[in-house]
Amino acid sequence: MTTLKAAKASLLRYALAKPDATLHHPWGENVAKVRGKVFVFFGLAEPAADAPYADYVMGVKLTNALLFAKSQRYVEAMSYGLGKSGWVSVKMPKDGAAPMGMFKEWIDESYENVAPSVSRAATAPRDAAARAASFRTSTRRVARSSTGRARPTRS
């Protein structure tokens, strides 16, 4: 049986072993970031026992495992609208048996969901000629309707 504190510590070490992963403390909480973008929320290291989030292990962004994860009793969509983007909060299972292997797979998936978009932008800067070429290939202009939605126009 794994304690909440031990599970969080183990998963935090696992997350920080990822390439370019760093530890940050916004709001006094532990988060793992890759190139400035959060890929795992771990919350407070030692929350008050009566805090509503005291039994949370982590928050991750899932795509492939999202439906399965949400079917688990100890997983719920993250608040503040993050759940709409695939972010889930993972609690410690009531029986205390944390499926650490699965939690690590979810950290891997969250890392992959966040890291590629950061990596592509950072490693593939476009020069002025490439930007101009892609602009010239676009032949459609977009006008705004009275409702503010874009609608195509003929050139």
Higher pLDDT, 73 or 54: 73
Q: Which of 4-13, 43-52, 61-70, 80-89 has the lowest mean pLDDT?
A: 43-52
Domains of the chain plus CATH, in order, are: 4-121 (3.90.1150.30)
Q: Which of 42-56, 99-113, 138-152 has the lowest mean pLDDT?
A: 138-152
Q: What is the pLDDT of residue 40?
A: 96
Higher pLDDT, 148 or 53: 53
Least Cα distance to 29 among 50, 53, 4, 61 occurs for: 53
The model's pLDDT over 67-106, given as tens digits with 9 standing for 90+, comes to: 999 999 999 998 887 878 899 999 988 887 889 999 999 9
- In which band, very low, low, confident or very high, does the pLDDT at 47 lie, cut at 50, 70 and 90? confident
Least Cα distance to 107 among 70, 73, 62, 43 occurs for: 62
- Residues of the chain above pLDDT 90, percent: 46
Indicate whether 123 pLDDT > 50.
no
- In which band, very low, low, confident or very high, does the pLDDT at 137 lie, cut at 50, 70 and 90? very low
Q: What is the pLDDT of residue 138?
A: 46
φ and ψ at residue 143, rounded to 5 degrees: -110, 155
Q: Count Cβ atoms below 10 Å from residue 106 Cβ, excluding itself.
A: 25
Distance of alpha carbon 73 from its chain centroid, rounded? 20
Give the containing element (helix H, strand E) for 105. helix 100-123
Q: What is the pLDDT of residue 144?
A: 52
